[in-house]
Amino acid sequence: MIPRPARRLARAVALLAVAGTLTAGAWAGPRDATEPRRSDRVTHVPAAAGTATPLAGYAVRSTARVTDSAAAVSSPGYPTAGWYPAGPRSTVLAALLANGVYPDPFHSTAQRGIPRADFEVPWWYRSDFTVEDTTRRTSLDFSGVVSAADVHVNGHRVAGAADVAGAYTHHELDITPLVRPGTNTVAFRIRPNDPDSDLTMGWLDWLQPPPDRNMGIVRDVLVRRGGPVALRDAHVVTELAVPSLATARLTVRARARNDSAAPVTADISGSVAGTRLTRTVRLAAHETRTVTFTPDDTPGLRLTAPKVWWPAGMGGQPLYGLDLTASVAGTVSDTAHERFGIRDVRAPLNADGARQYRVNGRRLLVRGGGWSPDEFLRWDRGYAEDRLRYAVDLGLNTLRLEGHLEPDEFFDLADRYGVLTLPGWECCDKWEGDVNPSGSGKKWTAADHRVAAASMAAEAARLRDHPSVLSFLIGSDSAPDARIETEYLDALGAADFTAPVVPAASDGATPRLGRSGMKMSGPYDWVPPGYWYAKREGGATGFNSETSAGPSIPTPDTLHRMLTPAELDTLWRDPDARQYHRSPSATFGTLALYDHALAGRYGAPTGLTDYVRKAQLAQYENVRAQFEAYGRNATDAERPATGVVHWMFNSGWTSLHWQLTDRYLDQNGSYFGAKKANEPLHAQYSYDDHSIVVVNNRHAGEHGLTVRATLFDPDGTPRYDRTVTGTAVDGDGARATVLTLPASVDGPARTHLLRLVLRDAGGTEVSRNVYWLSTVPDTLDWDGIDWWHTPTTGYADLRGLTSMAGVPVTAAAVTRSAGGTSTTTVTLRHAGTGSTPALFTDVRVVDARNRPVLPVRWSDNETSLWPGEELTLTATYRTADLRGSAPRVRVSGWNTPERTVPAG
């Protein structure tokens, strides 16, 4: 086994360089969520009780350039000429990028030109807001300060950095005595961030870390208005009857807080799930009481036939609403509103000690990916929604957030799309300073314990009502010690957080929770496809919380956006070259391991185009094998696979590794390999025993299936052909073994193509899956394992693919548009006269300038056709992303010349 202390030593010491970011490109990129705002923009705060108005933006300036006192800076009318406008959620560097201070740091190594020293001093964030009625109580409500801040209002300090510390702590500051009619000013003096010293967030080896290390304010700062009684912490605890799902019990809780110096009587009223709620509460001066409604005192909270929330692919995603109002003497004092879902999550350890999730009583194989926010934490709801749609398109059901816990809207979207989330604290820096001897984080002080407990309390309260939250991982590479575990669990319990709590993403344990039931045994760099079938290390057994075969070379379109011609030349010529867009880590700094495997299996690249096309083929087969192995083994009687998180789902910048989709939402071989593996009804090949298996991820069983397996030489000569009819397979991830391929076939070829075609009982093709296989196996050195890969001492011989004759593929395309959405239907036909198939045919919708239209969701892609065969694919996308041009379709393939046809 891998020595645990060495698990991520390279990751822990990888914080070497400055960072990159994104600026909106000319095409197919995320919208810039931190567009410049006028520094004199004022937030108008209404007088109505129960309102919570986010500050519209800030003016920001380095304290090195501001010599005036905090009292002056935070006073209305202070001149901000020369300050930079920033959005309502913005790191310092995000603001500077939005104002054009630096060129696009996501291109080449441009981010090296951003001076880190500029961010080693505090920065001022200043914002004005207006109120008319000062009879209301007013407070500032916020979290997301990175790393700490002194807070000033109208010339007065209202909180210090010792109290406002940590990215996830929640703060409500009563500023009622300071608020005046007209313009008011709030100013934050933001301190520099150091992930090794502060309980905030860092990037480890994911990407080149940002020079400002994300210092700033990355969540909304709300100005709350209300009367004498405030409603806080409103939430609903749900209990679903499992397995019947016939009834559910709701418990509603909220805190009523008397903010006045006199006793008051408050009437609490509202509704949930069609049931009226009423309660009268007497509060002494400054008293807080928890108001609870249960099915025992409010029978309507006992639901019959509740609308149950399901993950995508398992059912619908209905949500309920809770609305509460606190009134004093007939006048509204405050309101509270929450959305929640009814679902049940259990996660016991199975007989093998692996964590097995069940949702609403049904076993769940977690098929996930690691989520990355934008490197500069710039929130763009539309961009996040596009990526969540991609997750559903890929057949994923879960996204893991290791630290970098996104704003509320992210979890709202996850609820809506049925994407489960695994939030948790991050590894190797301050969060694990007391428990990870290989990490870089400093030891905790008494103040750090308070910040950590407050962070847990705040995030538990924020996440508890979201049905998409599957668990919370209170440790990553290392489990917390007994003291920290108790602080976390006490906070989670006090918040009524009911989802399972996991001690670590690694194979760790804590005194109260016990074993994690997860493993973090790699790999993180290249291994052959057959690796995933071994029931050891990262192979398909148990719950692997983060793993992949590492590099994921983007499409040519993206590569030309992110690298210079010289860098592109180095990319394919020099495996040992340091790749800035891979990682700052010494372990992952080059593509040597990947490139040697690519050349060893497919033949040395002859140029950039050849390198990229071989990379797409390799990534497709490897990612497909990863998900297929876990899918096949999910129902094993012994040591079943219970979950796998591909490391990662996406990248926060322009990257060469760890991504199923790239920064610009383009889709490479990794994407379509995952999509193929996670089909609802799927025929697949097993690299370990050569069996052909049908996996059914639908709930209902299937009967009368027909599976045809055919082996070909690369020139199309058939060597084996067998059809099996009458196949039946149960639902919920069950599998049926249909046949086993022979150990050898006639002929001299060392490379073969395997075509699997699955048809339903009506004869309709429901799955087509093509493999490229070798008579020479990849050989793994299991004795040479380290934490990041298993060495390969001999490569499969797939070089026979290079001898495939070129074949023509014709394409006819038509587009229909309605309601802002376009659907392009593409009919592909193998028009050759010989026997050679068209392998790995790739189709792209492009605009008039040959730029890919992104995001896009394909019914299938990177498909293969045999002579005379015809396939129809569909692509769905936003009409606006054509940028006013008529759509065209670009078709290319392994042995098919590129051509572009109109698709109007």
Tokens of 389: 């749609």
Burial of 445 (0-12, 13-18, 19+ CB in 10 A): exposed
Residue with tokens 């630290």: 403
Strand ranges (E), 227-309: 229-240, 247-258, 264-272, 275-283, 288-293, 302-304
Tokens of 92: 């310092």
DSSP assignment string, 541-575: SEEEEEE---B----HHHHHHHS-HHHHHHHHH-T
Taking phi over 0 as left and psi of -120 to 50 as alpha, with beta for the rest, 270 belongs to left
Residue with tokens 């929330």: 309
Using alpha carbons, select from 159, 140, 142 the residue that is nearest to residue 150: 159
Other CB atoms closer than 10 Å to residue 54's CB: what's the count?
17
Q: Is 869 one of the annotated active-site residues of the chain?
A: no
Q: How many residues does the chain have?
A: 904
N-to-C CA span, the chain = 57
What is the torsional sign of CA 799, 802, 805, 808? positive
Please, which residues have CB within 8 angstroms of residue 705's CB and are 6 or more apart in sequence? 694, 726, 727, 728, 729, 758, 759, 760, 761
Residue 630 · residue 367 · CB < 8 Å: yes
Q: Is 477 one of the annotated active-site residues of the chain?
A: yes
Using alpha carbons, select from 155, 73, 360, 346 the residue that is nearest to residue 245: 360
Query: Among the options 393, 477, 557, 847, which is catalytic?
Result: 477
Using alpha carbons, select from 481, 493, 463, 484 the residue that is nearest to residue 170: 463
Single-letter amino acid code for the residue at 695: V
DSSP assignment string, 313-343: TTS----EEEEEEEEETTEEEEEEEEEE-B-
Burial of 516 (0-12, 13-18, 19+ CB in 10 A): buried
d(CA 674, CA 646): 10
Query: Among the options 198, 393, 546, 666, which is catalytic?
Result: 546
Residue 735 · residue 705 · CB < 8 Å: no
C-alpha to C-alpha distances, 41 to 89, 95, 359, 754, nearest whole angstrom:
15, 15, 47, 63
- Pair type for strands 702-712 and 718-729: antiparallel
d(CA 208, CA 17): 6
Tell how many helices (H) and how many strands (E) occur in the chain. Answer: 12, 51
Catalytic residues: 477, 546
